[in-house]
Amino acid sequence: MKLHDFDPAPNAQRVRVFMAEKGLEIPIVEVKVRDGVMFEEPYRSMNPFAVVPFLELDDGTCIGESVSICRYLEDLHPTPSLMGRDPKERALIDMWNRRIELDGYLPTMHALRNADPAFQGRVVPGTRNDLVQFPEIVERGKDMLLILLERLEAQLADNRFIAGEAFSIADITGYFLIRLGVRLDFPIPDDRPNVARWYEDVAARPSTRA
């Protein structure tokens, strides 16, 4: 089994933190994404969506999408649990992880790719290189991040972590959401102390500092 990734990519970092929390050591193949190798063989056949990370299994099967990779690793190595130990816990963690991804992470990622000149022509990963950037997407992404942070502030008022008292994949996704916001010069607002407390706790974990 090998993990193909690109060190600066947030989605690849999410998987590495997940692995670190479980104490897993999986060989990592650093992909030269900036050289465009994802559009060439053998990568194109291995992962037609031309993005990282993806997990190459010993039988040649390739699993893309960070959450899908984490689900596979969770099933192989259920302890410590990062995706829930029973039906209720699994549902709550999945609920919050999806909320963060759909309402915060994806809009903020699109905002970054439409704001950073480095992504000019590459605003949608793994596709054509002639797509232009739209400033309006940046502002909408910031609006959606603010809305989600308001909701997380309320959730974290009575919970140590996003989905309850146990650290989970939802916290990993949320952590990298905040880091994306910082790259947009959009840090945690002063009126979100619960989010700030939670973020400091997650940032202090060995897995995120590795």
Sign of the dihedral through C-alpha 182, 113, 151, 73: negative
Query: What are the residue ranges spanned by the domains of the chain?
Result: 2-76, 87-209
Sign of the dihedral through C-alpha 44, 45, 49, 50: negative
Q: Comparing 2-76 with 87-209, is the CATH topology the same?
A: no
Sign of the dihedral through C-alpha 85, 90, 96, 97: positive
- Superfamily covering domain 2-76: Glutaredoxin (3.40.30.10)
* Domain 87-209 listed as CATH 1.20.1050.10: yes
Burial class of residue 62, CB neighbours in 10 A (0-12, 13-18, 19+): middle
The pLDDT assigned to 128 comes to 67
The pLDDT assigned to 68 comes to 98
Residue 12 CA to residue 31 CA, distance in Å, equals 11
Q: Which amino acid is at 145?
A: L
| Percentage of the chain exceeding pLDDT 90 | 84
Round the average pLDDT of the chain to a whole number and report it.
95
Sign of the dihedral through C-alpha 96, 207, 198, 86: positive
Q: Which of 65, 70, 57 is nearest to 169 (CA)?
A: 70
| Percentage of the chain exceeding pLDDT 70 | 99
The pLDDT assigned to 124 comes to 84
Higher-confidence position of 130 and 13:
13
Sign of the dihedral through C-alpha 99, 105, 108, 109: negative
Burial class of residue 116, CB neighbours in 10 A (0-12, 13-18, 19+): middle
Model confidence pLDDT, tens digit, residues 85-113: 999 999 999 999 999 999 999 999 999 99
Q: Which amino acid is at 48?
A: P
**Other beta carbons less than 10 A from residue 49's beta carbon:** 13
Average the pLDDT over 192-203 and give the result: 98
Size of the chain in residues: 210
Average the pLDDT over 141-164 and give the result: 97
Residue 70 CA to residue 81 CA, distance in Å, equals 11
- How are beta strands 54-56 and 28-30 bridged, if at all? unpaired
pLDDT band at 158 (very low <50, low <70, confident <90, very high): very high
- Indicate yes or no: pTM above 0.85: yes
pLDDT band at 119 (very low <50, low <70, confident <90, very high): confident
Model confidence pLDDT, tens digit, residues 16-72: 999 999 999 999 999 998 888 988 999 999 999 999 999 999 999 999 999 999 999
The pLDDT assigned to 210 comes to 64
